[in-house]
Amino acid sequence: MARLMSFPPEILDRLFFYADSTTRKNLRCSSHVLSAIGQRWVFDCLTVSLTDASCGRLDHIISRPVLAKCVTKLYMNTWNLDNEVSDWDYLQSQEFQYQENGRSRTSLGERLWNAFDRLKELPRLESLILRFHDDCGETEFDNCLQGLAVRDVILTRFLSAVVALPRPLRELGLLDFQNVYFNETQTAANRNKVLNSLQILRLDVTNVDREESQFVHARNAQDCYRKLPRSWLKPTMANLEHLTLYSRLRAGFCPKLDLRGLHFPRLRSLSLGNYAFMHDSQLDWILSHGSTLLELYLDQCTIIYEAALSFNVDEPIPVSATILSLEDFHPHPDLVVDRLYASYSGRWANYFRAFQNALPHLRHFRFGFTPGRWTRRILPFEQDMQIAIGFHQQCYMEYILAERDAILGAIQLESGENTSRSLLSVFQNDHVKTRQRVLLAWWVQFMNQAGGINLVVYYAPSMLVQNVGLSARLAQILGGCINMMFMFGSIVPSFFLDRMGRRNTMIAGCAGLSLCMMMISALLSQAKTSNGHSYSSAAVTFFFLYMLVFGMSVNCVPWVYVPEILPLAARTRGTAIGISSNWLWNFTVVMITPVIINRLHWKAYLIFMVTNALFVPAFYFFYPETSNLRLEDVDYIFSRSGDPVKNAQQILAELKLNGHVDALQGSGSQISPSRHFSEEKGVHEARNETKLAPAESRST
C-alpha cells in the first residue's frame, strides 16, 4: 500500500479510470487519500432498480451534494429485477399506497416517478439509459409484464423529467424500447427537445416474444419500425455522433426500417444489431457518411438472399412492409398464386469492399455477433467492442441453407449411378453423363498442349536462330521476352475470367493462336526472298502476340474447366485423367518439335495453325459454358435431356431471370432438393405450396 500511495494523484486517478466497479469500491475503502481520489469514479455511473434498497441509495447520494456532483451516467430499470410485476403496479396513482403484511407499501409506479423527479438534482448528469422489461405485447390488451399503455406512461414521465434537467443530455439509451410515437403534442415536443441535443443515441427495439414468422407482419411491429426514423432519429441529425440501433426482430427488410432520407453530418460511430440488408440503398446509406464515419459495428447482421412475399388475393400486396418496391418482386414458377419472389445479389464481400473504398476515415470495424446478446438481456448494452469477429450462422438468410441443399441435391442426383471406385468406372454412361464429361476434360487439356505452346516455350531461341536468322545472343534475349508475355497475359483471366466466360475465352483464344501461327508461317515462308530479313523480323511480333493470347486464354481455362465439368463422384479420378492428357501431349510436342522444325521449317507452324483452328468449332459445339455456375448446378447441364451446350445456355438464362436453377426441369429424375425458407429461430421446412428452389447462382 505504501508503494501505491507514493504515486502522484494523477496516476492514482488513472488507476481508478481503468479499474472495474468492484475494484474501485475496494480501493476507495483502503485509505482516505484513495477515497477522495476515487470518489468521482465510484459514483460516476449508477444503476437504479425499483427496489427499496436501490431507491434508498439514490436518495442518499442525491442528498449529499458532493456525491451528487459525481454522477454523470445513470442506468434506470423500470421494473423490479427481483419480482415479476403486473401493469397494475405501475398504473396506480402515485398518491395511492396499499397494505402488504400489515404495512404500507409504495407502488412501483410511485418509486419510478420519484426517481424521475429527483434526476434534476444531479447537476452533472449527461447520460441516461432507461431499461424496460423485454416482455411486451402487440396491443394494449395483451397480458404481459409491461404493455403498451405502461410503456407510454413511463416514457411520457421520463421525457418530462429529462426536459427539466439542469443541462441537456449528451447520451440517451432505451433498452427493450417499443413505443415510437405519441399522440400528445407536449410529449412529442419533449421528445424532440431531448433528442435535439444528443450526441449519442442507443435504441434497442423489442417486440413480442413469438416465432418471427408469426409477428413480422403485426401492425404494431410494422408501425414501430416505419415511424422510428421520423420520430426518434430525424430530430437528432444536427448533433448526433454515435448511433446504436438494435432490434429483436430482424428489421431492415421486413419489418421495414428505412433510413433513407436521414443524414447525420457529424456521425462518427454507427452500430447496427440484427439488421437485415436486401437492397443497395441500405448500403448506400452507410456509405453516405463516409466523410465522418470512424467506427462501424455490425452485430449479427444478415443479408436476405431471397424472399417470398405472401398476400391474400382479395387484399392489397403488403409491399410497404418491406424495404423493396413492387417492381422488385415477381412471380415464381414454383410458388402458388398468392406468393411473389425477390432475390438480392449483394454479398458481404461486396459490402466489405465498399466499406474499404468508400469509408476512407474508418478506423475500427467489427462484423460478427455478441455471444449471449440475444439469449440474455444484459446491462449495460454498449457491447460494440465485445462483438466476436467472424461469420455467424445467419450471416446469409437462406444462403447457407441453399448451398447445403444444392450440394445434397447434387449428391442425390449422382447417387446410385456410379458407386464403383475403380478408374474405369468414370467411363460409365450414367444419368449425369460421366463418360462424356471425362472425355471433355481430357480433350480440353489436349487443346492446352496441341496448340503448339511448348514449341514456343522450349524452342523459341532455336526457332529464332534457325527460322528467323537471328544471332544466338539476341535470340536468347528475345526468347526470354517472349516468355514474359505469357506472364502478362495470365494477369487478365486471373481477374476477369468469370466475366469473360470459359467458352468465349477459349474460342477467341484458339482463333487468335491459329491466326498467329498462320502469320508466322506466311512471313517465314518469305525469309529467302530479297526482303526476307524484314519478313522474318515481322514474324517475331507474332511470337510475342501468340504468347500473350495463350496466357490470356488457353493457358488458364483448361485448368479451371476440368474440375468444374466433372461430377462430384468422378472429380478426383477424372481430373487425374484430364491432367494426364496435358503431360502426355506436352511430352509429345516437345519430342517432335526439333524434328518437324528441321525438316519442315516454316511449314511446321501450319500444323498448329490447323489444330488451333479445329479447336474453335470443337469448343463451340461440344463444350457448355460453366462460368458463374455452382459446381452443383453443372450436373443439371448433363442430367437434362438434349444438347448440354443449349442446356447450359438455358440454365444461365434461368439464373438471370429467376436467380436460381430449376432442378426438376427436363431432368426426368425424382430429385426434390429442399426449397424452403428459414427464420432466425432455426431452419423450418415450409409448406409444399411455398417451396422454393435454391437460388444461389455463384460460388462465393
DSSP class per residue in 675-698:
----BTTB--PPPGGG-------S
Q: Which residue has the higher pLDDT, 135 or 282?
A: 282
Overall average pLDDT of the 430-438 stretch: 85
Question: Which candidate, 679, 676, 675, 683, places its Cα nearest to that of 216?
Answer: 679
Ranges 348-357, 385-394, 593-602, 681-690: which has the least confidence: 681-690
d(CA 590, CA 156): 87
d(CA 178, CA 155): 10
Phi-psi region of 433 (alpha: psi -120 to 50; beta: other; left: phi over 0): left
Is it the case that residue 170 has pLDDT exceeding 90? yes
Overall average pLDDT of the 227-242 stretch: 92
Residue 530 — very low, low, confident or very high, per pLDDT cuts 50/70/90? confident
Is it the case that residue 418 has pLDDT exceeding 70? no
Buried b (16+ CB within 10 A) or exposed e, 558-592: bebbbebbbbbbbbebbbebbbebbeebbeebeee
**What's phi and psi for 444, nearest 5 deg?**
-70, -30
Per-residue pLDDT, 602? 86
User: Which residue(s) pair with 177 in the sheet?
Assistant: 205
Is it the case that residue 549 has pLDDT exceeding 70? yes
Overall average pLDDT of the 478-507 stretch: 90
Does CATH number 1.20.1250.20 belong to domain 432-658? yes
CA atoms within 13 A on the CB side of 270: 24
Per-residue pLDDT, 442? 93
Overall average pLDDT of the 365-385 stretch: 66
Overall average pLDDT of the 427-443 stretch: 86
Q: Could you read off the pLDDT of 263-277 as tens digits, one per residue?
A: 999 999 999 988 999
Overall average pLDDT of the 47-60 stretch: 86
Ranges 221-225, 307-311, 349-353, 431-435: which has the least confidence: 307-311
Is it the case that residue 3 has pLDDT exceeding 80? no
Q: What's the CA angle centered on 418, arms 417 and 421, to 5 degrees?
A: 165
Per-residue pLDDT, 629? 84
Grid cell locating 50 = 425499483
Sorted by where each begins, the domain ranges of the chain are 1-43, 432-658
Q: Which residue has the higher pLDDT, 275 or 96?
A: 275
Is it the case that residue 696 has pLDDT exceeding 60? no
Residue 362 — very low, low, confident or very high, per pLDDT cuts 50/70/90? very high
Beta strands in 35-106 (DSSP E): 45-48, 73-77, 97-100, 103-106
Overall average pLDDT of the 376-403 stretch: 59
Q: Which residue has the higher pLDDT, 613 or 467?
A: 613
